[in-house]
Structure 1
Amino acid sequence: MELGFGSYGFGFLAGLLSTLSPCVLPLVPVLLGSATSMHPRAPLALAGGLAISYATIGTLLAWAGTALSIDTGVFRLLGATTLALLGVVLLSGSLQQRFATATSGLSAAGSSLISLAQPDGLWGQFAIGLMLGVVWSPCVGPTLGAAVVLASQGSHLPQAALLMGVFGIGAALPVVALAYVSRGAMVKMRGNLMRAGKTGKIAMGVIMVAVAGLMLSGTDKAMEAWLVDHSPAWLTALTTRF
């Protein structure tokens, strides 16, 4: 399956909603306050490490899924089913909490690594960002998992890596944006951002369940062919280059 513009847009939105999660967003001001005290550009290093961490974790998971050499039809069925289940999780706050609890061991291991890290300077904050990708993965598991499932449907590994890179950029963007607003504005914005994240997760959950239904019925193939036929040549070339 060739990943088109819509797939990358979905990956970006999933990354954005990951950072707007209730278990992540409240921690961002604290991390940014600490980072800024180290170096004026430390938040950028922190966000860069976070983006690379998510992109690496997601690419490895997507590669592992395709490396199993499962029959294409079976792999597609498993991917659609997983996407539907993750969509249902996003529609329920309690299910998201249970998901985070079930995968808390990974988060605890990442927290231990962060406690040993030396946060001084840009490289220290970059390392903290790398570790945050591990620490926050259980909490953002549904959105990260959705991006991984979509990436694993790509025909080539570079496509999966690009989509997960876009996911990482989406996750890092709110960190960068919040780093350069005043503390007072950050506190005022946090409530609105959390509500937007909650609404966005519900919308994404609905989309994921719908996409899973299209994949299971085969309708997505017909839609993909129609979009390719009616898209400008430059857009088709851009979104299928890798």
Structure 2
Amino acid sequence: MFSDFFPIAAFFAGVVSVLSPCILPVIPAVFAYSTEKGKFRPLAIVLGLSLSFTCMGIITSILGATFTAYLGYLNIFAEILLITMGVALIFDLNIFNVFGNFSSLANSKREGLLGGLLLGFSLGIVWLPCVGSVLGSILTMVAVSGKIGYGALMLFIYSLGFSIPMLLVAYSASFSSSKLKKVSKYGFPLKKVAGFVIMGVGFYMVYRNHF
């Protein structure tokens, strides 16, 4: 049931993540310097970001496969984690937001496409506190599957949902920081919808695995 729905959910999760109030408003600052250094540099940043998330999917899948002998305990952990993530999204609890302001990387002076790639990879890690609840839910489902290829694919799809809005901002002169702050307000209702979906998946796993 969820295996067919999960790719769509992963893409939606990426879109919800980028609408986070601590990510969306600083995207123009991230790309302002980059576009001056070449029209393909934003693509390099997004590619680095996608590579960062995909690596997380591979690593998580490997860990999940390693603990397949303890699948029962892994399922219980996943159920608790998914329900917790759902509650955190519904009530907007920033349980992962411990690093404060992430705009310090916006003015990175790394040059060229390689610099953009490295910047994107770094952002994938530095922005983890902003997307922790949503991304953590995706990684939890990936870990339970224990399939490396599946994990890489799902996190790549997640990164597409994350990257496409970023590219629209990067290559559109109509998006200013003030406008994006207004758009980011829609992230709150979307996070609540995602929270109910994630919590529902958690309770469904409890029902399927124990009842």
Give me the TM-score of the superposition, normalised by structure 2: 0.88
Q: Answer yes or no: is 1:99 the counterpart of 2:96.
A: yes
The Cα shift of 1:193 comes to 2.5
Structure 1 distance, partners of 2:34, 2:181, is 22
Q: Answer yes or no: is 1:67 the counterpart of 2:66.
A: yes
Partner of 2:85: 86
The 3-state SS of whatever aligns with 2:145 is coil
Partner of 2:7: 8
Whether contact under 8 Å (2:89, 2:192) holds in the other structure is yes
Partner of 2:133: 142
The Cα shift of 1:127 comes to 0.9
Q: Answer yes or no: is 1:173 the counterpart of 2:164.
A: yes
Structure label with greater radius of gyration: 1
Where do residues 38-77 of structure 1 align in structure 2 (5 Å cutoff)?
38-77=37-76
Whether contact under 8 Å (2:37, 2:111) holds in the other structure is yes
Where do residues 1-242 of structure 1 align in structure 2 (5 Å cutoff)?
4-93=3-92, 95-96=93-94, 98-101=95-98, 104=99, 118-182=109-173, 184-187=174-177, 189-218=179-208
Change (3 A) 1:149 1:136: same
Q: Which runs of 5+ in 1 are unaligned?
A: 222-242
Structure 1 distance, partners of 2:69, 2:193, is 31
The Cα shift of 1:130 comes to 0.6
Whether contact under 8 Å (2:21, 2:181) holds in the other structure is no
Structure 2 distance, partners of 1:26, 1:32, is 12
Structure 2 distance, partners of 1:72, 1:139, is 29
The Cα shift of 1:3 comes to 6.4
CA shift digits 1:132-183 (9 cap, x unpaired): 011101221111101101112225211111111111111111111111211x
Whether contact under 8 Å (2:87, 2:195) holds in the other structure is yes
The Cα shift of 1:83 comes to 0.6
Q: Which runs of 5+ in 2 are unaligned?
A: none
Report the residue type matching 1:71 in the other structure.
Y
Report the residue type matching 1:58 in the other structure.
G
The 3-state SS of whatever aligns with 2:130 is coil
The 3-state SS of whatever aligns with 1:167 is helix
State how many pairs are aligned. Answer: 209
Whether contact under 8 Å (1:62, 1:160) holds in the other structure is yes
Whether contact under 8 Å (2:41, 2:112) holds in the other structure is yes
Q: CA-atom RMSD, angstroms?
A: 2.6
Structure 2 distance, partners of 1:3, 1:209, is 13
Structure 2 distance, partners of 1:138, 1:65, is 22
Structure 2 distance, partners of 1:69, 1:153, is 8
Whether contact under 8 Å (1:59, 1:148) holds in the other structure is no
CA shift digits 1:44-83 (9 cap, x unpaired): 1111111111121233134223323442222212111111
Over the matched positions of the two proteins, sequence identity in percent amounts to 26
Report the residue type matching 2:191 in the other structure.
K
Change (3 A) 1:120 1:140: same
Once the two structures are overlaid, the 10-residue window that deviates more, 190-199 or 200-209, is: 190-199
Change (3 A) 1:70 1:186: farther
